[in-house]
Structure 1
């Protein structure tokens, strides 16, 4: 009995060894049950051999000096993004075909967990965004200033036309050291030469340019001439005996009777102060208050019922305007 048992044991050992030699290397995949949907097995063994797409945009032209460690991080991020795109494609395929996709895990052995995105990479990627294009604003055309010839100008101002005169000596303190005879200011002609000093001439020219012409505007085609009735005159105030010398006696004053427009319209201080054109005349009177120290008109007294009086006198309380 002992010999038979020993023989059977030996035979079982040899039989087991022989059967094991015919066993498969791997376990077969079990078949799905009847109720389970068709499955497509996909294994990403080839991912490790696929070339990594080159970095685009600002990363190629980045001026940052990257170390090996930083470059390795970039490679890992690029690989991770590529695999995400493949997973999305497979998911879309699964939805469209109705098949369940089984994704193999062999590729995960060679795909390390990506590191956190470096801060400089985030900045570089942000530069890839489409730059905001600002609309080009058309350049404003500069208004070409009308060049005024210096020929015939006085007081060093091209827009004041006239001639220089000899010193005027008058009685009782009258006179002008450097008088000028003005015939035109800022393109507006004067009906008669205005004899004053240069300070008064400049003040008058500035008022015509900045106030009188803008006030008249386009009425009647614009301001053409100014009717002058007084400049230098050796006399007292309002020509009264015993009164102080007028500013006219120093070449500091201008008397204006009216304004003529290019279409022939005349705004007379005497006739139009309370009639047609009164609005324009009153505005002209008002704008002179400040540029001139004294401004008088029909509302001041009877002596100025027919003209405006402008002078450059200084008063303690500021400009005197009536």
Structure 2
């Protein structure tokens, strides 16, 4: 009799969920996602980050990715207040979970988006000022300094950070993911 597929290890996210709650993030458990080779056994719908920072639209992420996003958002707030004089009220995202290959190439290795382990940040909305759109900031402006600072700070929270300056595919957003690599290697560009 042929052996079935290997068992799926379902993470115990209890401690992670408690940390998200203590951080002030709002996340709702979702049913498991199973789509061929893509999916996540215990995804969350992340709608709000600490300090009331809305996630627009809400993101479908694993708990570890949601926690990294929440922790990074506190740095986003600090940098926005320092460089722009106010905190954002929403982070605009393009993609969280999506079953696809890297850089939308159907022949490429599956993206971390395919495992609810990545988020693409397009910009930040503010009350009383224009949105800061990643990749569309004027060189030398406070918005450019803010974009550079939040991109650099993301490297402390995520295992992969790609954005403007890394390659053409990431020129208009910040790709943030929690892909595990050998020896704890991180990719920060």
Q: State the TM-score, normalized to the length of structure 1.
A: 0.49
Q: Distance in 1 between matches of 2:69 and 2:126?
A: 18
- Within the candidate set 159, 163, 176, 1:293 is matched to 159
Match of 1:225 in 2: 90
Q: Distance in 2 between matches of 1:270 and 1:279?
A: 12
Superposition map of 1:192-211 within 5 A: 192-209=57-74, 211=75
How many residues align? The count is 167
Secondary structure of residue in 2 paired with 1:265: strand
Residue deviations 1:157-186 (CA, integer Å, cap 9, x gap): 321213211011112x10011111111010
- Within the candidate set 239, 244, 249, 2:114 is matched to 249
Match of 1:162 in 2: 27
Asked if structure 1 preserves the Cα contact closer than 8 Å seen for 2:122 and 2:134, the reply is yes
Q: Distance in 1 between matches of 2:87 and 2:32?
A: 36
Q: Distance in 2 between matches of 1:237 and 1:300?
A: 15
Q: Distance in 1 between matches of 2:169 and 2:80?
A: 26
Q: How far is 1:224 from its partner?
A: 1.1
Q: Distance in 1 between matches of 2:161 and 2:86?
A: 27
Match of 2:136 in 1: 271
Unmatched 5+ stretches in structure 1: 1-153
Residue deviations 1:106-146 (CA, integer Å, cap 9, x gap): xxxxxxxxxxxxxxxxxxxxxxxxxxxxxxxxxxxxxxxxx
Where relative contact order (Cα < 8 A, 6+ residues apart) is larger, the structure is: 2
Match of 2:177 in 1: 311
Asked if structure 1 preserves the Cα contact closer than 8 Å seen for 2:80 and 2:86, the reply is no
Asked if structure 2 preserves the Cα contact closer than 8 Å seen for 1:220 and 1:262, the reply is no
Flag the structure with higher strand content: 2
Q: Distance in 2 between matches of 1:208 and 1:241?
A: 31
Match of 1:176 in 2: 40
Secondary structure of residue in 2 paired with 1:272: coil
Secondary structure of residue in 1 paired with 2:153: helix
Secondary structure of residue in 1 paired with 2:150: helix
**RMSD between aligned residues:** 1.7
Match of 1:283 in 2: 149
Q: Structure 1's 290 and 319: CA in aligned 2 closer, same or farther, altered over 3 A?
A: farther
Q: Distance in 1 between matches of 2:174 and 2:138?
A: 11
Q: Distance in 1 between matches of 2:34 and 2:159?
A: 25
Q: Distance in 1 between matches of 2:154 and 2:31?
A: 29
Q: Distance in 2 between matches of 1:310 and 1:270?
A: 15
Flag the structure with higher helix content: 1
Q: Distance in 2 between matches of 1:220 and 1:188?
A: 16
